[in-house]
Structure 1
Amino acid sequence: MSATNTTIPTLDGEATVPAYVARPDADSSRAIIVIPEIFGVNAGIVQKCDDWAAQGYLAIAPDLFWRFAPGVDLNPDVEAELNEALRLLGQYDVDDGVKDIEAAIRWLHGQGAAKVGCVGYCLGGKLAYMAAARTDIDVSVGYYGVMIDQMLHESHAIAKPLMLHIPTADHFVSPEAQAKMHEGLDPHPKVTLYDYEGLDHGFAATDGDRRDDVAAELADSRTRAFLAENLA
């Protein structure tokens, strides 16, 4: 495996998006976009990219906040840094985020990837849902995505497989919001939802205070199988 920091062209070609890229030892026709949380391309996201590359995927993590705060690298277990991440989130336009994901899809195809999937966390989980509805990505997975209940009107456009991991005690996603997600998405033939009872936001973080080892390993095993099946 090899890794580097690079830039990829935006969709309009007028700027570049900073990104971390991890490449497998052998050329691969399968690629994964790791969509970060609000904490930027930090050590946890870098590790997730490296893990995917070790499994044979070309993996990329774009810098979501590059337009106004490039290079963000925050620790969710430090209160001041968590507050800074929430402040940055208030400035972020998710429509721009989908454009950046689409730019990453285009770049990955140019690198030889025949099929591209994405795995997103928190804000990235929402963007994974939006990518499933708005782009031609081959498969999407979202962990503890926020505000998806407010975007269910887009679900009719989901044509490729989508998996969502939902912790039932997520303090950013109310029980009412979770119920709406199930009501709106359970009948959808392309969408699979998994609940994780009693767990909170961030349970599948690479490490740190939020991680729950048992649930993270279960969710990640489901994700690996889902992506392997749909990127074959």
Structure 2
Amino acid sequence: MTDVTINAADGGTFTGYLAKPASGTGPGVVVIQEIFGVNQVMREICDDLAAQGYFALCPDLFWRQEPGIQITDKTDAEWAKAFELYKGFSEVKGVDDLIAGLGVLRDTEGCTGMVGTMGFCLGGKLAYLMATRSNADCSVSYYGVGIEKNLDEASAITRPYLAHIAEKDQFVPPLAQQQILEAFSKVTRVTAHTYPGCDHAFARVGGAHFDKASADLANQRTADFLKEHLTA
């Protein structure tokens, strides 16, 4: 497992954490960070994907503000820092950087060229935007925040997209969820699952709202989805 350099489309370079499968060959997944940066949680997700046979790359999306952010959800100060970074983040630039990362992963020795995306929280929104704006082979969102603001793009989804939605998500109120599900129901390549009683980040191991049963279900659905669309 190592850090790699990615060239930004508008100049400059940034890094990403890359985990490789033991076999040395396989499809790829671009893992999209939460608001806490490429921290231990994200790296462990990459490592787990590598154990499943994928090349997994998590790009540092806060590099334009402060490279190398690796904070947790354990203190008020870290939450304040995370929200500060989130407020200063450009989704447009973030998608551009993810597309650059997608290219790097496809060109990585041993990668089959089939590459999907999987994002959490902020990354969940960006995975949706990758489904609408990029040529990723498939995409997965875990409790994406703010998707309802870009539902006019849903019709642009032409490749498989999977969304995990927390019913009690404090950052995605019921009206937003209703709008999202209604829009998704009209797109044939979209599958959406709602997790009753779950709050935001129910799949973040060690998080305040971690729900093992729901996390296990969502993760199994994701594993099946990635296998179907990246290894077929």
The bucket for the TM-score relative to the shorter chain is over 0.9
Letter aligned with residue 230 of structure 1 = H
Q: For each residue in 1:90-126, what CA deviation from the matched residue of structure 2 results, as whole angstroms up to 9, or x when unmatched?
A: 0000001110110011111111332000110000000
Partner of 2:51: 54
Letter aligned with residue 55 of structure 1 = Q
Report the alpha carbon displacement of residue 21 of structure 1 after superposing the two structures with TM.
Answer: 0.5
Q: CA–CA distance in 1 between the matches of 2:229 and 2:205?
A: 24
Letter aligned with residue 15 of structure 1 = G
Report the count of equivalent residues.
229
1:4 is aligned, of 2, 5, 11, to 2
3-state DSSP of counterpart to 1:114: strand
Report the alpha carbon displacement of residue 180 of structure 1 after superposing the two structures with TM.
Answer: 0.2
Name structure 2 gaps, 5 residues minimum. none
3-state DSSP of counterpart to 1:188: coil
Letter aligned with residue 92 of structure 1 = F
Runs of 4+ off more than 6 Å: none
3-state DSSP of counterpart to 1:113: strand
Report the alpha carbon displacement of residue 80 of structure 1 after superposing the two structures with TM.
Answer: 1.5
Q: CA–CA distance in 2 between the matches of 1:134 and 1:171?
A: 27
Partner of 1:139: 138
Q: CA–CA distance in 2 between the matches of 1:17 and 1:229?
A: 31
Percent identity between the aligned chains?
42
- Asked whether the equivalents of residues 40 and 71 of structure 1 are also in contact (C-alpha less than 8 Å), the reply is yes
Q: For each residue in 1:17-45, what CA deviation from the matched residue of structure 2 results, as whole angstroms up to 9, or x when unmatched?
A: 21111011112230001100000011110
Partner of 2:63: 66
Report the alpha carbon displacement of residue 211 of structure 1 after superposing the two structures with TM.
Answer: 1.3
1:23 is aligned, of 20, 23, 36, to 20
Partner of 1:214: 213
Please, which moves more after superposition, 195-204 or 77-86? Answer: 77-86
Name structure 1 gaps, 5 residues minimum. none
Q: For each residue in 1:160-185, what CA deviation from the matched residue of structure 2 results, as whole angstroms up to 9, or x when unmatched?
A: 00001000100000000000001111
Question: 2:218 matched to 1:200?
Answer: no
- Asked whether the equivalents of residues 198 and 209 of structure 2 are also in contact (C-alpha less than 8 Å), the reply is no
Letter aligned with residue 123 of structure 1 = L
Q: CA–CA distance in 2 between the matches of 1:101 and 1:43?
A: 19
TM-score, length-scaled by structure 2: 0.96
Q: For each residue in 1:100-156, what CA deviation from the matched residue of structure 2 results, as whole angstroms up to 9, or x when unmatched?
A: 110011111111332000110000000000000000000000000011111010011
Letter aligned with residue 186 of structure 1 = S
- Asked whether the equivalents of residues 140 and 161 of structure 1 are also in contact (C-alpha less than 8 Å), the reply is yes
